[in-house]
Amino acid sequence: MVDKIKRTLEKIRPALLADGGDVHFVKYDEKTGTLKVELMGRCAHCPMSTITLKQGIEAEIKKAVPKVKKVIAV
């Protein structure tokens, strides 16, 4: 499960890097379906980071790994 999540994050990463940001896997809790990620670079301080997290990262992760129920930034 974690490997599939990390592979999906690797597919998302180039779009974030193009805007000066990045995302890193922190932890996945199988019991709750919660994925914790760290937004880096410009993504960490961008006022649009919540939209990027929910409509971009979370949407792609849920599509690729349906057991993930939510993605949160730490």
**Domain residues of the chain, as ranges?**
2-73
Q: Tens digits of per-residue pLDDT, 51-71?
A: 999 999 999 999 999 999 999
Instruction: Give the position of tokens 């057991």.
Output: 67
d(CA 27, CA 17): 21
Residue 45's pLDDT band, with cuts at 50, 70 and 90, is confident
Strand partners, 27: 36
pLDDT value at residue 21 = 94
pTM value > 0.75: yes
d(CA 45, CA 39): 9
The CATH architecture assigned to 2-73 reads 2-Layer Sandwich (3.30)
